[in-house]
Structure 1
Amino acid sequence: MPRLLGPLTQAVTYTRWLHLLIGAAIPLMGAFITPGLSSPSLVAWLQIALQPIPLVVAAALLLPSLRRAEGLQARLMLFPGQHARVPGDQEDSGISVAPSASWRDRGRTALWAVLRLEAGCAAGYVTVQCLGTALALVGAASSESGEDPGLLLPLPAPHPANALLVPVPILVLLGVMVVAGRLMTSAARRLLGPSPVERLAALEERTEQLLERNRIARELHDSIGHALTVAVVQAGAARAAADPGFTDRALGAIEETGRAALEDLERVLRVLREDGQPASRRPTLADAGQLLDSARASGAKVDTEVTGPLERLPGPVSREAYRMLQEALTNVLRHAGPVPVRVRLAVDETALEVDVRNALPTGGEVTGRGGSGLRGIRERATLLGGRATTGPRDGEWQVHVELPLG
Structure 2
Amino acid sequence: MVRPAVRTVTYTRWLHLFIGAVAAPVVGLIYPGLDGSGGGNWLLPLVPLPLVAVAACVPGMRVAETMQAQLLLFPRPRTPHRRPDLGIAGSPSASWGDRWRVFIWLTVRLWLGFGVTVVTINGVVLMLGLLTPSLWPPFGSPLPLLGPWSWWYPLLAPVTGVTLIALTWGAGALMAGLAPRLLGPSPAERFAELEERTERLQERTRLARELHDTIGHALTIAVVQAGAARAAGTPEFTDRALAAIEDTGREALSELDRVLRLLREDANPTEQRLTLAHAGRLVESARGAGADVTAETDGDVDALPGPVSHEGYRMLQESLTNALRHAGPVPVTVRIEVRDGRLELEVRNKLPAESRDFRDGGSGLRGLRERAVLLGGVAEYGPHEGEWRVRVTLPLR
TM-score, normalised to structure 2's length?
0.86
Q: What is residue 86 of structure 1 aligned with on the other side?
A: none
Once the two structures are overlaid, the 10-residue window that deviates more, 6-15 or 206-215, is 206-215
User: For 2:108, what is the secondary structure of its paired residue?
Assistant: helix
The answer (yes or no) to whether the contact 1:142–1:158 under 8 Å persists in 2 is no
1:191 is aligned to 2:185: no
For residue 173 of structure 1, report the CA deviation from its aligned partner: 2.0
Task: State the match for 2:77 in structure 1.
Answer: 82
Residue 9 (str. 1) matches residue 9 (str. 2): no
Contiguous gaps of at least 5 residues in structure 1 = 84-89
3-state secondary structure, aligned to 1:190:
helix
Other structure's SS at 1:209 match: helix
Shift in alpha-carbon separation, 1:394–1:292, aligned structure 2, 3 A: same
Q: Does 1:66 align with 2:61?
A: yes
Tell me: CA distance 1:145–1:368, structure 2 relative to 1, closer, same or farther (3 Å): closer
1:217 matches 2:208: yes
Counterpart in the other structure of 1:230 = 221
| Corresponding residue number in structure 2 for 1:368 | 358
Matched position secondary structure for 1:33: coil
2:40 matches 1:44: yes
| CA shift in 2, pair 1:58/1:143, >3 Å | closer
1:114-153 residue pairs with structure 2 within 5 A? 114-137=107-130, 141-142=133-134, 147=139
Amino acid aligned to 1:23: G
Alignment partner of 1:383 out of 365, 374, 378: 374
Instruction: Name the CA shift for 1:14/1:267 in 2 (closer, same or farther; >3 Å).
Output: farther
Shift of 1:36: 1.7
Counterpart in the other structure of 1:53? 49
Q: For 2:142 and 2:309, how far apart are their aligned partners in 1?
A: 83
Counterpart residue type for residue 21 of structure 2: A
Q: Could you tell me how far 1:252 is from its partner in structure 2? A: 1.3
What letter matches 1:292 in structure 2?
V
User: How many residues in Structure 1 have an aligned counterpart in Structure 2?
Assistant: 390
Runs of 4+ in 1 over 6 A off after TM superposition: 143-146, 363-367
Aligned to 2:306: 315
Q: Residue 250 of structure 1: CA displacement?
A: 0.8
8 Å CA contact 2:20–2:109 kept in 1: the answer is: yes
CA RMSD of aligned residues (A): 3.0
For each residue in 1:1-51, what CA deviation from the matched residue of structure 2 results, as whole angstroms up to 9, or x when unmatched? xxx22222222211110110111122111211122222243x522211122
Partner letter of residue 230 of structure 1? Answer: I
Aligned to 2:167: 176
Change (3 A) 1:71 1:150: farther
Q: Residue 350 of structure 1 corresponds to which residue in structure 2? A: 341
Do the aligned partners of 2:4 and 2:165 also contact (CA within 8 Å) in 1? no
TM-score, normalisation: structure 1: 0.85
Find the aligned partners of 1:227 and 1:156 in 2 and give their Cα distance. 93
1:102, distance to aligned residue in structure 2 (A): 2.6
Q: Is the 8 A contact 2:131 2:157 kept in 1?
A: yes
- Give the percent of matched residue pairs that are identical in Structure 1 and Structure 2: 52
Matches of 1:131 and 1:31, distance apart in 2 = 23
Take 1:144 and 1:393, find their aligned partners in 2: how far apart are those partners? 97
Native 8 Å contact 1:356 1:399 kept in 2: yes
Q: Distance in 2 between matches of 1:234 and 1:199?
A: 52
Using the TM superposition, give the Cα deviation of residue 339 of structure 1 relative to its aligned residue in structure 2, in angstroms: 2.7
Deviations 1:229-259 (A, max 9, x none): 2122212222232221011101111222233
Gap change, CA 1:67 and 1:146, over 3 Å in 2: closer
Retained in 2: the 8 A contact 1:7–1:178? Answer: yes
Shift of 1:303: 2.6
2:275 aligns with one of 281, 284, 289: 284
Equivalence for 2:252: 261
Equivalent in the alignment of 2:31: 34
Q: Distance in 1 between matches of 2:157 and 2:182?
A: 38
In 1: Cα distance, 2:380 partner to 2:200 partner:
28
Contact 2:322 2:358 in 1 (8 A): no
Letter in 1 for 2:365: L
Cα shift at 1:384: 0.7
In structure 2, the CA distance between the partners of 1:404 and 1:303, relative to structure 1 (3 Å rule), is: same
In the alignment, the residues of structure 2 paired with residue 290 and residue 353 of structure 1 have an alpha-carbon distance, to the nearest angstrom, of: 19
Match of 2:90 among 84, 97, 114: 97
Distance 2:61 2:46 in 1: 20
Q: Report deviation, 1:167.
A: 4.9
Q: Give deviations 1:166-200, integer Å, cap 9, x for gaps.
A: 55434432221111111111111222122212222
CA drift of 1:164 comes to 5.3
Q: Give the one of 308, 325, 330 matched to 2:316.
A: 325
Per the alignment, residue 399 of structure 1 pairs with: 390
CA distance in structure 2 between the aligned counterparts of 1:190 and 1:19, rounded to whole angstroms: 17
Shift of 1:138: 5.1
Query: Taking structure 1 as reference, are residues 257 and 157 closer, same or farther at Cα in structure 2, changes over 3 Å only?
Result: same
What's the offset of the Cα at 1:67? 2.0
> How far apart are the structure 1 equivalents of 2:291 and 2:94?
61
> What SS is found at the alignment partner of 1:50?
coil
